[in-house]
């Protein structure tokens, strides 16, 4: 993936697909001004190269009865062996939406969605602070969330 050269058409394909990943190949080709067969080949090459890593369906946490969202920053004392099981434990929680391993004072940042404040408290106390590896948990409630634009490479 490091050696993948992206030209202006590749970048345009990525921009368009990031805004509508359900677009048909024919519509995508028309949007970027290339033939459908060429577009299909380019998208396949971007997938094979690991530039396009998948398509995701996003579901509203509120619609699933989990309206309380929070970021949990975790400080942990870990070894490489315990880190694997810790990551597996965090990812196994049905409330976990995203997990990030960080550099800096916090080791992990976990985005969670809980049914209510009591559910969030249970999650923090029973599933995180009870772990011997976890030395500190800070909870930051999410009041509102906005999507950002498509991820494009830096200008050169």
156 residues of the chain, pLDDT tens digit each: 557 889 999 999 999 998 889 999 999 999 999 999 999 999 999 999 999 998 888 889 999 999 999 999 999 997 777 889 999 999 999 999 999 999 999 999 999 999 999 999 999 999 999 999 999 999 999 999 988 877 877 665
Nearest-5° angle of CA 69, CA 74, CA 77? Answer: 160
- DSSP letter string, 24-51: -HHHHHHHHTS-HHHHHHHHHHHHHTTS
Give the sheet arrangement for strand 134-142, strand by strand.
96-101, 108-114, 68-76, 134-142
Contact by Cβ (8 Å): 109, 102: yes
Angle at 118 between CA 102 and CA 60, to 5 degrees: 65
CA distance between the termini of the chain? 19
Positions of CATH 3.30.70.920 in the chain: 68-142
CATH of domain 68-142: 3.30.70.920
CATH 1.10.10.10 residue ranges in the chain? 8-48
CATH of domain 8-48: 1.10.10.10
């Amino acid at each position: 993936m490091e050696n993948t050269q992206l030209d202006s058409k590749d970048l345009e394909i990525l921009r368009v697909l990031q805004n509508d990943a359900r677009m048909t190949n024919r519509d995508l080709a028309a949007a970027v001004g290339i033939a459908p067969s060429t577009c299909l080949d380019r998208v396949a090459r971007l997938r094979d190269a690991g530039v396009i890593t998948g398509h995701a369906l996003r579901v509203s946490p509120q619609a699933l009865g989990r309206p309380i969202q929070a970021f949990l920053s975790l400080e942990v004392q870990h070894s490489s062996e315990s880190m694997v099981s810790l990551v597996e434990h965090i990812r196994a929680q049905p409330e976990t939406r995203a997990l990030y391993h960080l550099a800096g004072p916090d080791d992990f940042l976990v985005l969670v969605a809980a049914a209510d404040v009591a559910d969030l408290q249970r999650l923090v106390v029973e599933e995180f602070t009870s772990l011997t590896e976890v030395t500190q948990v800070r909870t930051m409630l999410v009041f509102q969330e906005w999507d950002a634009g498509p991820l494009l490479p830096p200008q050169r």
